[in-house]
Structure 1
Amino acid sequence: MPLPYIFSLLFLITTAVLLFYGLYVLSLNIKSSLHILFFILCLCLSVWSFSLSISNTAQNYETCLFWRRVGTLGWGTFFSFLLHFIVIITEKADILKKKWIYILIYLPAALNVFVFGLYEKIAVKQYNLIETSSGWVNVCCNTFWNWMLYAYDLSFFLVGFTLLVRWAVKLEEGDKKSKAYLICLLFACSFVAGTLSEVIINSMFSIKIPQIVPLLFIIPMTQVLYCIKRYGFMLKKKNSDSSDFHSILNEDSRERLYLNFSIAFLLGAFVNIGSMYFTKRANLEPVLLFSAFMIFIGIGLQAIQQLNIRLSYKDLLSNIILSISIPIITLRYFDYSAIYAGIIPVLFIVTSIAFSQKHILVLNGISSLFTLVWIWINSPSTIVVRFTHVDHAVRIILLLSIFIVAYYINYVYSKRLIENEEKLNAQKLLSRISSIFMNTNENNIEERINEVLKLCGNNFNIDRTFVLFFPNGQKTMKYFEWCSDCESPMNDAAKEKKVRKVFELLDISPFQQQEFDSLPYLAATMEEYMEKEYVRDEETISTIINPLRDKECVIGLMGFESAGQKLKFKEYHKETFKVLAHMISDIMLKVDAEKEINYRANYDALTGLPNRAMFMNQVRGAIKLAERSEKLVGIAFVDIDSFKYVNDTLGHDGGDSLLMKIGERISSCLRLYDIVARFGGDEFVIMIPQISHVEDICAVAEKITSSFKHPLTVGDQEFFITVSMGISVYPIDGNEVESLVKNAAAAMYISKENGKNKYTMCSSFLQKQIEVNANLTNSLHLAIQRKEFILNYQPQVNAQTGEIVGVEALIRWNHPQKGLISPGVFIPLAEKNGLINHIGQWVLQEACEQNNKWQKMGLKPIKMAVNLSLGQFLNPNLVEIVENILKKTQLDPAYLELEITESIATYDVEYITSTLNRLKDLGVTISIDDFGTEYSSLSRLRIMPVDKIKIDMRFTQGIYRGTKDESIIKVMLQLGKTFGLKVLAEGVENEYQLRFLKENQCDEIQGFYFYKPMPAEELELILRGNKNI
């Protein structure tokens, strides 16, 4: 075969392969723009390659030029579509939202088609076609439009290649990333090789070769196709379950069958061109016309599959087209090979077996028969192959035989498919029932059982389905029934008669004194499946009964009845009934067990919510269920923020009403099977069972906190309430109820310490902290008796003179194993466990005794500052305790300073003011510690009887740092002067801070710049030598 024809055949094969690639990908998802673009890319390359196939062996220059211009539709637009495709596959589709981008991409392509293809006056000047030994070759012309074409190809390719490389870099390491890099490499190599062959070799060397770019680009396109199948670069659409009930082919099989049909027709079209034009050198026009017909059939089959009509109609239309093509194809090739042409109809008939619609098989059979009869009638008497009338008859007989066999195969195959679909429907039924029973409880058991009976009746086409349930030890019998539209529901008397008839069929007597009674024993040898017939109202009733069992005991029956036909089911139906009976038995027993638990449960008298005992039982049950089902259980401990203040405002009755509304508010945020319980006081605990992810618990917590953004109304007053929550999760944070609740409570305290109105998840660190705190709490009870507490003292000096004017008593815990423990650790523990008053009383007495001891030594009297915690201050006996300690230690009250925090002012103002005034009456000094960090208010400074404010060290640390702290300190100092209060600055550590405070008339200084906290003995030496700084 001459070299030009070899190249033409290569181009033709490339055309077919690329077109097949495009059709395959398009069939995966015809609605996806990515799939459509890939198809268009393949189509462009196919048009390009096909034009080269025809033009390469053209008989004259004009024919070659014509097909070269036709090829412009492919190569002139290819790089625009390629760039568009790359933009989408590399996830850069956002840039396509700008409409002008499309103009930028596709305007050069349109210009190429116009200049090199459509506009003849310009187009003919752009080609320099030379006939060589390898076929017609285009030697590039140095025209303006050719240079524009080179710029278009190069720029578009470089942009696309850059996007591909960046996309490959971002992919996760693995085989997919390496394949992406390979695609980049193959595209680059194809482009470079194509440029070398067309632009450089043909223009600069004497050797001339055809344009092989389409042959080269088939390599990267093949790699892209491989990645589509292997790595899901372009996902396949989900097939819808829209096939007819008795369809042999499912959706996926149908698509594959019609795709193969289309490919076969397209392949036939290209084979026709290759054999008739390139081999036999037949006239090009009829060859192209018949190939176009084949391509039309192939594309038409795919187009029909996209129509929004029933599948049976699609099959009918498709097979009408196929039946029409039978005579055309057969008669087309009869002149060349009469024997093999007659075999063509057999292929269509055999294929028809795959369709359950028999008329399709009949249609193709009739078309084939008429085609052969036509050939028989119109065959010339002088045919090259000797083929007698007997031969025609034999051929027809053989065809009829094939038709009969195909028909029988179709019948058997259809029947088998129906059985397979029935099995599949049975599995779907059981899955659906399992899903229905998943959230069944005593409130919806009747609705769910009736729903299941309806599903069974419709699925098996039965007139009536029923369930009898008589658990051992119960005097009542439960009856559930569903009947079709042709049957009417039975009244109570009819139901009783029906139940009697059922037990008569089973030869047992479950009734005593006309009442439903328990069944202590029900046919232990009863079959798992029983078929019976009996007469009711002159109608023969066919019934099937399955027992409901609990281990070896029969606790009920499930039955199916039909009055129209005798019920007969196959073996796989019987197995389905057994599984169904087992599922119903399980759910009935489960619901009865839940009722028993709920019956014994107790509830909170005030809110009507479950109390602690019931909640703990429910959580244990949920943990067992979660252990079997491998699910999570969430525990949320909820505490109402500042409830004591609200309760004091409303009174106890109002507080109780508020608690009820809070319980209702929390309950409204939960699922039906979640549980909220009141643990006592203002504490609620929530159980969230059967969850799959911890995030689900967080979502509930968010919902609860958000719900309290709306006020609660009690009487005529509205209250904005916030809650603090702690959350623990089984089995992550514990396997026992007690540990889960304890961990949740600990997490709740973290929420309160972090600002309230939030939730905190328990963690391994928090669990460890809980254990540490528990050990510390145990030691804390004996710390005073073991004399483990010690006091350090930090001097307070006059800002101007540097003279020590007072000291602050600071407690430390010298733990025998852990060493010194900061008060920030054990003071909160003491407050939680009610030890703060004992510890605070010890600190106050020790400090007063030490101050009195120094005065007896002859040292200059100074003030002793002692901190009062919130728990101490709220002690109604505080004033009496201070008074007794002053008397006991014989310390002058003028030398005792009590420090309180601003947060105390948020409680009952009258109580706070009264207590402070009573302390002032004793003669002690009152100061506000850490002023400016919490609830600073001018009104509080005006009302509260205090003598000194202490600026928190966080403001002091901001001096000379370019912050706003200096301005705040100046304001505090001015406030102190305005209200006649002394001002002390804490945390002074350097000369700059001291200078600033002195310049702004601060009264007193406390910090490491002067003295650190120290034992009494060390401070005594300093006091003896106290002098100005």
Structure 2
Amino acid sequence: MSLPLSFSLLMLLAYAVYMLLGFYIISLNTRKAINQLFFAVCMALGIWAFGYSAAMYAPDNGIALAFYRFSSVGWCMLFGLQLHFSAVLVGKETFLKKNPWVYALFYLPGLIAVFPFAIMGSLSPSIYNLVPTAIGWINMFPLAGWNLFFVSYFVIYTAASALLLLGTSPAAVSPEAKNTNSWLGLIFAAILVFALFAEVLFPGPASLMAAHMAPVGMLLPVLFVYFSYRHSAFMVTAPSKTPEPGRILNEASLVKYYQYSSMAFISGSALGFASLYHFAQRPIVPSLLFCFLLFAMGGIIQIISRIPPENELRENIFIPLLALSVPVLTYPFLDIASVTVWVIPAIMILMSIIYHKRSKLLVLGVAIILTQLWVWYQVPYLHPQVSGASHLARIGIFGVLLWLADFVNKTYIQRLEENEAQIKFQIVVSKVSSSFVNVNESNIDEKIQEMLHLCGEFFQSESAYFLSFFRNDQVKLHSWSTDDSRITLDSLPQMNARNFSWWAENMIKANEVRIINSAELPAEAAAEKDLMQRYNVRSLSSVVVTHKDKTLGNLFFTVREGSSFWREDHKELLLILVNLLKDAMIKVEAEKEIAYLAFYDGLTGLPNRTLFRNRLEQAIHLARRLEKLIGVVFIDLDAFKAVNDSVGHDGGDKILQQVAERLTECLRKQDTVTRFGGDEYLIMLNQMDRIEDIQKVAENLMDAFSQPFAIDQQEFFITASAGIAVYPEDGENVDTLIKNADIAMYTSKEKGKDQFTFCSPHMKDDILSNMKLTNSLYRALERNEL
């Protein structure tokens, strides 16, 4: 193999690498600027490498000149793209958006250079000086005129790229990205120094031949960027969903399959060009036409991969394209690689088995059979020839087969992992839902903790948190972690939309926030970035728990080390967990509300008579053992009807609420006050030592009415009458104590109101005598004894 052929094939290999890397990166995210720029850089390098490959092995000066002019489109635009790419890498996107005039500085010199070097053929004699050498045709250009302009452009823009990367601000990117940028800047600086020595300071045939290997040398920074940034945001694989029923691949895998198919055609264009032009010595035009057809097919597949999955147009274009590629790939090699190209249809068959409709395979099968019949007709008999083209075609075919086998293997493993993950998640959901079946107010914290533990292990996160806002607008933090490095509620700043506006905005838009790398957060998320870095959180996924437009809390899963990979189906699984958690919280709140309605007064919030009786009964049992006293105070507001008539029932309700507040302030925590009904209040003074202590509390209760009650800017002076029954002197059960306190209260009213009275045996005897007298009078009236 001659040196020109070897160097030309090396250039062609570089072209294939640039094309594959460029299309791969743009397939990950077509909208992100960094992906678009990396793709553009690879396309420029690919044009440069392909042009040099064809030019160096050209049969004459004219063809070599045409391809050098073609390659100049790539190297003229490259260095402006390189500087733009470097600016984005160091975090200057915001600056570029605010100053669009900078784009003219990036690309204007390159566009100017394209005209003399590529378009204006009349200037070629003064620019190009093509000389045949040991490695093929090279350009021994004079360092003057337009060549001097280009060298100046190259030196300034490469130096600017290196300085920009070496001077990366630590505030703009993460420490890892800054270190990587510095290494890339050093690579650009080394390339610049080498180019200056080879083309400017010590020009000569040997140094210029070395300089012509620049398209291969530029593989170093491109591969460095790819391998160094492969885990950053612009090289993260798109999230995937579980395949729909009846389909072999999910949408993400299907798009990846189309990308691989596209790359196979694009790399095949380089392989086919080498086979026809370099080995078979075919004319340049048909070789280029074949290369262009395969490249165009790869480009079409790239385009159709963007068609929405629900549209069958994608499949309806792809399968006919595969069918068309069978004769396109077969015909040029009938006489030079016939013993090899027959296997190409086998590749197409393998590429079609992913479809769930047999009609797709039928279309391809018809194309293959017709092509083979046509080949049989055209070449009924041929002596086998194993030439360089045959060997190259075999290597290419085996490469594509291995590529497809690798894809099928990865897809099979991915499906197994997805099925396993689905089973594990079903187990998690089953455990969480079973745990929440018997959830109540006393065990909900324990249940949430168990859920965080199960889900944190399933999502392989290092910490899980649930920040609850449900209970009386109080914030409560539940946490789980693989170690002891948990975030506590006291260590968090106040969580509100004003402090974390970026977070709040994204939560409102999508009810979730997903951060792959905290170091790559935008400038408007500075507060969120600072908080995550303070607690060494690199990756985070969060979803809000809501019910009827009310936020119940936020569920977080965090990773501190490495990059976390959140698949699209993780979002669906999180929503299931959120619904389970929401239902559990709603259930607990409903039980609390039912319990509240059963045991508390709806107007004042005080315990009702049912709860009061329960507490008094328990207090009696305790007082019996401890030999303590219990005071039961029955309070009735004096002449409260006049207040209702004056301010209405709404105003009266407000006064009743104020009375409840004042009475509560006079009591201890172990005492109980209840609204017994209407304007009546019943109080239990628990575990008292002496009668005097009960009397002192009663005086405080009566003093609570000494100040006026303000309603709607009006003041009302209200008095109350109270009666007190003491356990055990006035009764040893609930009903007796309440009855005797009521008797004492009415005695207070008879004495003139606005006072309290202790129950006494004389009062009870009087009441009993009055009841007997009343009953006797009713009976006498019935028997006409009056």
The TM-score range, normalised by the shorter chain, is 0.5 to 0.7
Question: Contact 1:197–1:212 at 8 Å: present in 2 too?
Answer: no
Shift of 1:309: 5.5
Partner of 1:113 in structure 2? 114
Out of 712, 716, 721, the position equivalent to 1:715 is 712
1:338 Cα deviation from its structure 2 partner: 3.0
Q: Any idea what the Cα deviations from partners look like across 1:233-261, whole Å, max 9, x if unmatched?
A: 52536436495432110123212222221
Counting only pairs closer than 5 Å after superposition, residues 143-222 of structure 1 correspond to structure 2 as: 143-167=144-168, 169=170, 176-203=177-204, 208-209=209-210, 211-222=212-223
> Compared with structure 1, are the counterparts of its residues 237 and 339 closer, same or farther at alpha carbon in structure 2 (3 Å cutoff)?
closer
How much does 1:198 deviate?
Answer: 3.1
Q: 5+ unaligned residues in a row in structure 1: which ranges? A: 387-409, 443-578, 618-649, 664-675, 683-712, 718-1029
In 1, the alpha carbon distance for the partners of 2:179 and 2:382 equals 61
Alignment-derived partner of residue 66 in structure 1: 66
Aligned to 2:682: none
CA distance in 2, matches of 1:85, 1:172: 15
What letter corresponds to residue 217 of structure 2 in structure 1? L
Task: Provide closer, same or farther for how the CA distance between residues 275 and 339 of structure 1 changes in structure 2, counting only shifts above 3 A.
Answer: closer
Q: 1:369-380 residue pairs with structure 2 within 5 A?
A: 369-376=369-376, 378-380=377-379
How many pairs align? 474
Distance in 1 of aligned mates of 2:664 and 2:138: 92
Equivalent position SS for 2:137? strand
- Name the residue aligned to 1:101: 102
SS at match of 1:281: coil
Q: 2:338 matched to 1:338?
A: yes
Cα shift readout 1:384-413 (whole Å, capped 9, x = no counterpart): 259xxxxxxxxxxxxxxxxxxxxxxx9xx9
Distance 1:218 1:228 in 2: 15
Q: Whole-Å Cα distance in 1 between the matches of residues 289 and 666 of structure 2?
A: 92
Higher helix share: 2
Matching residue of 1:286: 286
- Does structure 1 retain, via aligned residues, the 8 Å contact 2:241–2:252? no
Change (3 A) 1:146 1:354: same
- Cα distance change, pair 145–659 in 1 and its aligned pair in 2 (3 A): farther
Q: 1:440 to 1:346 in 2, by over 3 A?
A: same
Amino acid at match of 1:384: H
Cα 1:166–1:380 change in 2 (3 A) is closer
- The DSSP-based 3-state class of the residue aligned with 1:234 is helix
Shift of 1:40: 0.7
Aligned alpha-carbon RMSD (Å) = 4.9
State the alpha-carbon separation in 1 of the partners of residues 608 and 217 from structure 2: 76
Aligned residue type for 2:604 = L
Give 1:42 deviation, angstroms. Answer: 0.4
Q: CA contact under 8 A between 2:80 and 2:107: conserved in structure 1? A: yes
Looking at structure 1, the residues matched to 345 and 102 of structure 2 have their Cα atoms a distance apart, in angstroms, of 52
Query: What is residue 383 of structure 2 aligned with on the other side?
Result: 384
Structure 2 vs 1, CA of residues 384 and 91 (structure 1 numbering), >3 Å: closer, same or farther?
A: same
In the TM superposition, residue 301 of structure 1 has moved relative to its aligned partner by 0.9
1:125-140 equivalent positions in 2, closer than 5 A: 125-140=126-141
**Whole-angstrom CA distance in 2 between matches of 1:379 and 1:677:** 109
1:346-425 correspondence to structure 2 within 5 Å:
346-376=346-376, 378-385=377-384, 424=422
Are the aligned partners of 2:251 and 2:309 in contact in 1 as well (CA < 8 Å)?
Answer: no
Amino acid aligned to 1:369? I
Which piece of structure 1 moves more, 75-84 or 583-592? 583-592
Q: Counterpart in 2 of 1:620?
A: none
What is aligned with 2:265?
Answer: 265
Name the counterpart of 2:252: 252
Give, in whole Å, the separation in 2 of the partners of 1:716 and 1:320.
85
Structure 2 Cα separation of the partners of residues 240 and 187 of structure 1: 36
Contact 1:134-1:209 at 8 Å conserved across structures: no
Per-residue CA deviations over 1:269-322 (Å, capped at 9, x if unaligned) read 111122221223221111111111111111211110112452543233212211
Give the aligned partner of residue 304 of structure 2.
304
TM superposition score normalised by structure 1: 0.41
Are residue 13 (structure 1) and residue 10 (structure 2) matched? no
Look up the match of 1:915. Answer: none
**Partner of residue 602 from structure 1, selected from 570, 590, 600:** 600
Instruction: Report the residue type matching 2:322 in the other structure.
Output: L
Change in 2 beyond 3 A, CA 1:197/1:436: farther
Alignment check: 8 A CA contact 2:117 2:127 kept: yes
Cα 1:715/1:148, change in 2 over 3 Å: same
Displacement of 1:66 after TM fit? 1.6
Task: Answer yes or no: is the 8 Å Cα contact 1:353–1:361 preserved in 2.
Answer: yes
The Cα shift of 1:217 comes to 1.1
The whole-number CA distance in structure 1 between the counterparts of 2:299 and 2:284 is: 22
Question: What amino acid sits opposite 1:82 in the alignment?
Answer: Q
CA distance in 1, matches of 2:417, 2:53: 52
> Aligned partners of 1:63 and 1:89: how far apart in 2?
39
For 2:222, the aligned partner's letter is M
Gaps of 5+ in 2: 386-407, 441-576, 616-646, 668-709, 715-786
Aligned 1:832-911 pairs, distance under 5 A? none
Contact 2:18 2:43 in 1 (8 A): yes
C-alpha separation in 1, matches of 2:315 and 2:107:
38
Query: Do 1:248 and 1:354's aligned partners in 2 also have CA atoms closer than 8 Å?
Result: yes
**Rounded Cα–Cα distance in structure 1 between residues aligned with 2:23 and 2:439:** 53
TM-score normalised according to structure 2 size: 0.52
Shift of 1:114: 1.0
> Per the alignment, in what secondary structure is the counterpart of residue 167 of structure 2?
helix
Q: Distance in 1 between matches of 2:311 and 2:195?
A: 46
Paired residue type of 1:303: I
Task: Say whether the 8 Å CA contact 1:244–1:312 is kept in structure 2.
Answer: no
1:381 Cα deviation from its structure 2 partner = 4.2
Q: Distance in 2 between matches of 1:236 and 1:678?
A: 65
Q: Render the CA deviation track for 1:342-380: whole Å, top value 9, x for unaligned.
A: 22212211232222222222222222222223223x144
Partner amino acid for 1:197?
A: A
- Which amino acid in 1 is paired with 2:2? P
| Distance of aligned partners of 1:165 and 1:209 in 2 relative to their CA distance in 1, 3 Å threshold | closer
Distance (Å, rounded) in 2 between the aligned partners of 1:349 and 1:254: 16
Q: Which protein is bigger by CA-based radius of gyration?
A: 1
For 1:943, the equivalent position in structure 2 comes to: none
Amino acid at match of 1:2: S
C-alpha distance in 1 between matches for 2:183 and 2:150: 27
In the TM superposition, residue 80 of structure 1 has moved relative to its aligned partner by 0.8
TM-superposed CA distance for 1:65, in Å, is 1.8
Say if 2:90 and 2:173, in contact at 8 Å, map to a contact too: no
Write the letter of the residue equivalent to 1:318.
F
SS of residue matched to 1:167: coil
What SS class does the counterpart of residue 130 from structure 1 fall into?
Answer: strand
Query: CA separation in 2, counterparts of 1:68 and 1:659?
Result: 97
1:232 shift after superposition: 0.9
Q: Tell me how far apart the structure 1 counterparts of residues 239 and 139 of structure 2 sit (CA, whole Å).
A: 47
Tell me by how many angstroms 1:422 deviates: 12
Looking at structure 2, the residues matched to 591 and 654 of structure 1 have their Cα atoms a distance apart, in angstroms, of 30
> Could you list the per-position Cα deviations for residues 122-164 of structure 1 after superposition, in whole angstroms to 9, with x for gaps in the alignment?
3431222222222222223232322222221122222222221
- Partners of 2:318 and 2:652 in 1: CA distance: 78
Aligned partner of residue 131 in structure 1, secondary structure: strand
Partner of 2:277: 277
- The 3-state SS of whatever aligns with 1:137 is strand
Q: Aligned partners of 1:115, 1:679: CA distance in 2, in Å?
A: 94
- Please give the alpha-carbon distance, in whole angstroms, between the structure 1 residues aligned to 2:655 and 2:37: 65
Worse overlay, 595-604 or 18-27: 595-604
Deviation per residue, 1:960-981 (Å, 9 max, x gap): xxxxxxxxxxxxxxxxxxxxxx
Which residue type is aligned with residue 383 of structure 1? L
Percent identity reads 24
Q: Is the 8 A contact 1:265 1:294 kept in 2?
A: yes
